[in-house]
Homo-oligomer: A and B are copies of this chain.
Amino acid sequence: MEPTRERILFAAMTLFSEKGYLSTSVADILREAGANSGSLYHFFPTKQDVLLAVLEMYRDGIYPMLLAPAWEGVDDPIERVFALLGAYRNALKTTACLYGCPIGSIALELHEPDPPVREMLSVNFEGWVRHVKGCLDAAKSRLPAGTDTHALATFVLTTMEGGVMQSRTHRTLAAFDASVAGLRNYFTLLQASAGVAAAPAARQETGT
């Protein structure tokens, strides 16, 4: 049996993604983990500190638990971006569109999160975007010259989160698929316009 602290964290991670943070009670976590309240409060001062530790697990697990499996056997950097989106599609599909991205759910669930929580959510998004930006930078020669790869990677995350939100609401993959298809088509057009010339219109500009 794993140590208690790990069991509590794993139980909390599961329940937060299944029921959300606010709807998960400390008693739920204790039942799932097979622990007593005193143990939990021995390791974590408050329920919020459990959330913080879970978010740290996501931050540290993004490569080994998410990217590595999704990218196995996929070498093309642009295909890796869509393989990652495919992993989220698979998560939606295997849960009947119930669970999507736990970070996104928590981000919208907590309207004015305490600064450390907001910071960890921010860090998680940044890590995700940074990895996607890595793919885009590796494919730089196939994108229009001057492409802002960070902004484009942000747009990829936007597509994933927005698609997951709608698919979870409609309980259908259609919205997620339509969003990813739109992004795929955008990438096709970007690569086509990169082949012709570095047309100004093909640049990804940020801000207004």
CB proximity of A179 to chain B, nearest CB, Å: 4
Query: Does residue A67 face the partner (Cβ distance < 8 Å to B)?
Result: no
**Complex-state Cα separation, A128 to B193, whole angstroms:** 31
CB proximity of A150 to chain B, nearest CB, Å: 8
Q: How many residues of A contact B (CB 8 A)?
A: 63
The 6 tightest CB contacts between A and B, nearest first, are A158-B162, A162-B162, A155-B182, A151-B178, A189-B189, A158-B179
Q: Is the CB of A181 within 8 A of B207?
A: yes
Q: Is the CB of A206 within 8 A of B181?
A: yes
- State the number of copies, please: 2
Of A2-10, A32-40, A68-76, A166-174, the one with at least 4 CB within 8 A of chain B: A166-174
Contacts A22-B23, A188-B201 given; does A165 touch B108 at CB 8 Å = yes
In the complex, chain A residues 4-30 whose Cβ is within 8 Å of any chain B Cβ: 18-20, 22-23
**Complex-state Cα separation, A152 to B22, whole angstroms:** 34
Chain B residue with minimal CB distance to A126? B170
Contacts A22-B22, A111-B20, A170-B122 given; does A157 touch B162 at CB 8 Å = yes
Contact string against B for A residues 175-208, beta-carbon threshold 8 Å, 1 for contact and 0 otherwise: 1011101110110111011000000011111111
Chain B residue with minimal CB distance to A173? B207
**Complex-state Cα separation, A190 to B205, whole angstroms:** 16
Q: Is the CB of B174 within 8 A of A155?
A: no
**Complex-state Cα separation, A31 to B150, whole angstroms:** 45
For A201, what are the chain B residues with a Cβ–Cβ distance below 8 Å? 185, 188-189, 192
For A192, what are the chain B residues with a Cβ–Cβ distance below 8 Å? 193, 201
Query: Does residue A121 face the partner (Cβ distance < 8 Å to B)?
Result: yes
**Complex-state Cα separation, A109 to B108, whole angstroms:** 7
For A157, what are the chain B residues with a Cβ–Cβ distance below 8 Å? 162, 166, 175
Query: Does residue A54 face the partner (Cβ distance < 8 Å to B)?
Result: no
Chain B residue with minimal CB distance to A165? B161
